[in-house]
Structure 1
């Protein structure tokens, strides 16, 4: 084994140890900060049909997001089957939402993919393409809504409606620049710190845009389904997009408090505080906590299967 291989092996062992220490600590912190009595009261107040619709839309969103890694499979050309890729991506997304991108999107994805035999360079390309897919969809939706003057901002906010429209224009320009580069760029591959970065085809980039935008739209539909029909869906979508970027900027796991603050500030004239909080608590329970519980079980299964494959490979090599 060469020096690079030994370093990667040591890094994997250190990452595994850190991961098994960090994840339980973050999970405990997340669950400890939740008011479970409040969650129960909020959910009991809804009709079961409303909650069933929210769960169904959430499931569609997670299924769609998991398919981002199938685009990554096509982009990188690796041969892992969809039955291995999809549950892995689902687990990473659920942990990402609740415990931050560093745990879910990065550490967990590197761990699980490497245990399936993918090299670091391939995992990095899958991760990068997924991030671009997510934010390309965000730029297109947010840009279009902001340019149209949504959401209507309360008086006194420093950015103002004109500032929000300018941000919308910038987002649309960036999204268009990516799509045009995928179509017309002559140089399509770069080296960055030893990693190869390649532009996808325009067809793949268009698929990224559609899937990314649809996932954000489904997330907003969950919130919309839990609120009374007083405000149009585009407004709810625009507010969710603003709250999501605020959560990313503050680096708070699951955006605790950020989501509620943005919704209360921007929709205070349309809904009562109690109605908004009940809907957002329901959204957290259905879109964050429920998938996290399922993902925790799926993760344990994936780890067990990976351990079995490792033991089988070792016994095969010594037999």
Structure 2
């Protein structure tokens, strides 16, 4: 979960990586087909008229409030790369680092992590003058930040029984609670390791992982948790506050992890399928689908327009105003 430094992979690590790539090549698309099939099999049962009616009933002020929460979440996500900037001490300016992170996040949500979270980040940072090793570390630390807060919040919600998995999920309440406890321990263990570990570098599968300091790890935990909380608050408002906030956030986090492991851009159909499976007995289907569609529009599509504008601005200004590359990373701060 720490920053990743490029290095040649050992033979055993290379073999393990090859096996993983082969498994992923067929397993993840197969999972995507199953999820889409599940959704399509119920698509004719969805109350689309009710969803459209629910969308029309939203007041402009409510939609504006949700858009504000979405904007705050995207802005907060941009700070994840600022954590990497502090840890690595590269010389790219803070505003430009933040802008690249926000732009990449908007594309990541709509086009997938390979395009937005990794590909676009790598291109923009390279245009800004950073070397590949530094870019890899920035991306690795940002991903770690995002999932660190996820592990703490989702783990707490799962352990507390905030949601009950459907029968077709093949996981019981007890197993979900145990999973939640394990997620909490992993998140806390990471922060403790960063704070007290004397060994700062590890080699896993031929790649070097360097732990940040304890204060940086705590910052990762706080910012990421706040970001996920903002996302849950947006959906909570769209559901008319009819579902407890803890349950709303837990369902959102469950949908998020399914969307990540399913190779479908923007998780199309995944978010809807998970919400229908977990909340269809609590909220009217029309209102539920209306909330999900409004969330997708306000959190995914509207920021994508802003991300596109920022991307064009960066493409135009980076070649002429690049801040220059940074020598190899110094000792971590924090």
TM-score when normalising by structure 2: 0.78
Asked whether the equivalents of residues 121 and 195 of structure 1 are also in contact (C-alpha less than 8 Å), the reply is no
Deviation per CA, 1:219-244, whole angstroms, max 9, x where unpaired?
A: 11111111122211000000001000
Structure 1 residues 63, 250: CA separation in 2 closer, same or farther (over 3 Å shift)?
same
Q: Distance in 1 between matches of 2:131 and 2:168?
A: 51
SS at match of 1:197: strand
Q: Which stretches of structure 1, 4 residues or longer, exceed 4 Å deviation after superposition? A: 37-43, 154-157, 191-196
Q: Give matches, 1:132-143, under 5 Å.
A: 132-143=144-155
Deviation per CA, 1:190-248, whole angstroms, max 9, x where unpaired?
A: 45688643101111101101111111111111111111222110000000010000111
* Greater RCO, CA 8 A, separation 6+: 2
In the alignment, which residue of structure 2 is the partner of 1:161? Answer: 173
Structure 1 residues 238, 160: CA separation in 2 closer, same or farther (over 3 Å shift)?
same
SS at match of 2:281: coil
Q: Distance in 2 between matches of 1:220 and 1:41?
A: 23
Query: What do you get for the CA RMSD once the two structures are aligned?
Result: 2.1
2:239 aligned to 227, 252, 258, which one? 227
Asked whether the equivalents of residues 151 and 184 of structure 2 are also in contact (C-alpha less than 8 Å), the reply is yes
Q: Give matches, 1:265-304, under 5 Å.
A: 265-304=277-316
The count of residues paired between Structure 1 and Structure 2 equals 275
Q: Distance in 2 between matches of 1:241 and 1:110?
A: 27
Q: Distance in 2 between matches of 1:153 and 1:192?
A: 34
Structure 1 residues 153, 224: CA separation in 2 closer, same or farther (over 3 Å shift)?
same
The answer for unaligned runs of 5 or more in structure 1 is 1-36, 314-319
Cα displacement (A) at 1:44: 3.7
In the alignment, which residue of structure 2 is the partner of 1:20? Answer: none
Cα displacement (A) at 1:153: 3.3
Deviation per CA, 1:86-121, whole angstroms, max 9, x where unpaired?
A: 111110000011100001111100100011111111
TM-score when normalising by structure 1: 0.81
Q: Distance in 1 between matches of 2:212 and 2:97?
A: 20
Q: Distance in 2 between matches of 1:156 and 1:250?
A: 17
1:127 aligned to 127, 136, 139, which one? 139
Mapped pair 1:218 → 2:230:
yes
The answer for unaligned runs of 5 or more in structure 2 is 1-47, 325-334
In the alignment, which residue of structure 2 is the partner of 1:316? Answer: none
In the alignment, which residue of structure 1 is the partner of 2:73? Answer: 61
Mapped pair 1:111 → 2:123:
yes
Mapped pair 1:254 → 2:301:
no
Cα displacement (A) at 1:307: 3.6
Cα displacement (A) at 1:45: 3.0
